[in-house]
Amino acid sequence: MNKEYDLLIIGGGPAGLAAGIYGSRAKLKTAIIEKKRKPGGQAATTEEMENYPGFAQGTTGPELTKRMAEHAKAFGAEFIRTEALEIKCEGDKRIVKTRDGDLVTKTVIIATGAEPRVLGVKGEGEFRGRGVSYCATCDADFYTDLDVVVVGNGDAAVEEAIYLTRFARKVTIIVVHDEGIMDATKVIQERAYANPKIDFVWNSVLEEVVGDEVVTGVKIKNLKTGEITEMPCDGVFFFVGTVPKTDFVKDLIEMDDFGYIITNDKMETNVPGIFAAGDVRQKYLRQVVTAAADGAIAATAAEKYIAEEEGFKTDVLNADKPVLVIFWSPTVESTFDTINMLENLGLEEKNVKLVKIDTYKNRLIADRYEIKNIPTLLYFVDGELKNRLEDVTKENVLKIIEG
């Protein structure tokens, strides 16, 4: 493969697709790596989506993500169907190792999302695909006029239970809380209570999935009495949270105890040039709208990272003469006097180049050289930092140059 890009996005869910739109629109050579046949991530398995801005009457996850993918393609984003296995850093390049070869890029956005959490109860793994499912949109029609059980009581679980009632004869939700208490938002709870096809089992947990060749029932444990009862059913749907897909970068990127990637508000990870967006990162709210926002921010930050890096390399590190770099800010009035002094030192005659860096617009370089006070001056020769001044006076600058 061995292609080279400005921006590689790993993951084709809403975060990755939004990043693809913003990256390619900014004229970055952009590609989205997605191992599935169709992009969309978890959102593409969500049938009902009525809280995405602009769709008051609702839309479907597959339709929304299809439009996002078409939007990214329209701006020139390339889609590569393969699986990312590892990211390596080599100087200012990032190497994404895939099943089909290496891809070289200046920046990477990790948008691999999360996958359904497995409870690990007895029978869950044994009957997966034979009555155990994690996606109502994918499998609901298999249970037409049959009885199913839903494990979980958050927004996703209850929304998917409501969707299942379009097909199933009866849907039973197992709820760990006391009667009338669920983790789902009130409006979603009310819809579930009003649906005649939905029943609830309160104060209980799923103990076991039972069956022969396929699921024939479940064992449910009452948390207050300890009693275990068996309920016949034809399928079990699990909606008990997600696990981030970050194993492939666990030795490179800083994560929290649950495996979610830690970023700042620019979606920057602890590794320069690598960003994270969407459900894969540590965040307060995991929704399609916040994933799309993350992707837009990450791509914009990646664009600025490239511009800042390449500008600094050209103007400073690869300069053919010594360089004075003055870090200034329009909010610090005294820096204007400092710049004026430097511009009148006759630097051209001394074969010295002056580069001005606005710390407000160029935080990356300022942070790299630990610029704490404004103004601060750095002196480079042949790309190597030779001296540093925080007391930027004419006398001190001349001492550096002449010394």
Q: Are 21 and 68 in contact (CB under 8 A)?
A: yes
Identified catalytic residue from 6, 89, 100, 135: 135
**What are the φ and ψ backbone dihedral angles of 309, each rounded to 5 degrees?**
-65, -50
Whole-angstrom Cα distance, residue 197 to residue 220?
A: 20
**What are the φ and ψ backbone dihedral angles of 190, each rounded to 5 degrees?**
-60, -40
- Catalytic annotation present for 139: yes
Identified catalytic residue from 138, 199, 382, 391: 138
- Catalytic annotation present for 138: yes
- Catalytic annotation present for 233: no
Identified catalytic residue from 6, 139, 147, 234: 139
Whole-angstrom Cα distance, residue 124 to residue 118?
A: 8
Q: How far is CA 382 from CA 319, 323, 327, 368, in A?
A: 7, 9, 19, 18
Active site residues: 135, 138-139
